[in-house]
Amino acid sequence: MRSLMLRFVGFTGAPVLSALAPFIILPVISRVVGSEGWANFSAGQSIGILGMVIVLFGWGIVGPVRVARSTSTAEKAALLYESLLTRAVTVSVAVPAVAIATYLISGPSFRLESVCVAVAMTLGGLSPAWFCIGEGNPQALMLYDALPKLAASLVALPIVALSAQVLWYPAIMVAFMLPSFTVHAWRTAHPRLREGQPVVGIGRCLRVLLPTAGIDGASNLYASTPVPIATAGLSSEDASAFASSDRVYRVALLTVVAIGNAFQAWVLNPLDTDPARRHRLSIVVHLVLGLLGGAAIALLSPWATTILFGEDVAAQPLPGVLFGVSFFFLSTTTPLIRNLLIPAQRYRLVFAATIAAAAGGLATMLAGSALESPVVISLGVSISEAVSFGVLVVPALRELSRIGRSDTSPEVPLST
């Protein structure tokens, strides 16, 4: 239990810093761009998240599990090297794709800035965060992922505030992130550390990753498109208010990521003699987090966004409630996917649930855009997460029951 507490401290600290980083500068940006530019800028961030998912191409889901199950430094180094090779390919596709998509969706106000922030966030897919999570190494997560983002925000804050030039923010973010990612890759995946460990070819590696990439892509399709959909269909005032609700929701989700990261390597430890107990604790903690966090988002979003982003772009009450419902279902579903179904290689089931969630959620969001209703778009977000939970909860609990009977953790292949 002491090791779990240390993981909580470490893996919570890094995401908290990552959460603070945008909150430090976003209040300045929201006031510089105003109600007309805020929705465009937020759309660029959301599209950038989709680009980041394309760059990762499934490593964010299956990578931590494989690293946690690796038995040697050489094996871990080979895994990271494989990911670097595949991500070199995917980043070359993702960057122009997100730039074009952001340009087409954004309105004329601060369009170039929106495109640049989308590209900068896409390059975040080169981060070694997933590798550090699988290692159970919060210090590396802090050093190579959280601190560069925090430093970029701290440096960009006075520059943007004094110059009123938002372009400085994505430029400084890239300048801090890429050298950090490069240093980690050099120190962790250097040829001398791989010790002749075989590396799978890029084509085969991409084919093996395709199922998890599909899951990650489909889930982020409905998770990251609400703001672009709102930007395309709502008035600039309603779209900006919706974007503020979404910003609070996305930052709150970092707590789910933090708790999930703290638990994953601990729960999936192959040497543990009672894995079912660890799984149950993880599920209960995520359930409690979902209840408390969802209630906070529902009750506090209008007040918090007024203070943070300004009264002109403050969140509306009812969308905040629906985002709180989404938070509950997403938090509760997280350990079911990450710790039970993905390690058990139930990729088809998770993918089917993701497609069902995307279909129901996106249809509702598009209807909301056509009706010019931010409430209906928010309802689509809630429907997506509720459908995913409803499809996966029973199979996940059956897998937990199987683990309890066998007293062994589900296995995943250690090599592609």
Amino acid 356 reads A
Element spanning 185, H or E = helix 168-188
Distance, CA of 82 to CA of 206 (rounded, Å): 10
**pLDDT, position 5:** 56
10 Å CB burial of residue 138 (0-12, 13-18, 19+) is buried
**pLDDT, position 414:** 39
**pLDDT, position 416:** 35
Question: CA end-to-end span of the chain, whole Å?
Answer: 33
Angle at 57 between CA 56 and CA 62, to 5 degrees: 90
Residues of the chain with pLDDT under 50: 408-416
Domain boundaries, the chain: 6-406
**pLDDT, position 367:** 95
Could you tell me the CA-to-CA distances from 216 to 176, 256, 272, 342 in Å, in that order?
26, 16, 28, 12
Q: Encode pLDDT of 293-307 as tens digits.
A: 999 999 999 999 998
Q: Side-chain half-sphere of 310: how many Cα atoms within 13 Å?
A: 15
Element spanning 398, H or E = helix 374-406
Backbone angles phi, psi at 96, to 5 degrees: -65, -30
**pLDDT, position 386:** 96
What tokens does 46 get? Answer: 């959301």
Angle at 54 between CA 53 and CA 58, to 5 degrees: 65
Distance, CA of 70 to CA of 82 (rounded, Å): 14
CA neighbor of 15 nearest in space, from 133, 163, 175: 133
DSSP strands (E only) in 221-343 = none
**pLDDT, position 413:** 44
- Do 27 and 375 form a contact (C-beta atoms < 8 A)? no
- The residue written with tokens 């990578």 in the block is 63
**pLDDT, position 6:** 55
**pLDDT, position 338:** 86
Distance, CA of 61 to CA of 125 (rounded, Å): 13
**What is the pTM (predicted TM-score) of this model?**
0.74
- Do 258 and 338 form a contact (C-beta atoms < 8 A)? no
CA neighbor of 250 nearest in space, from 48, 110, 99: 48
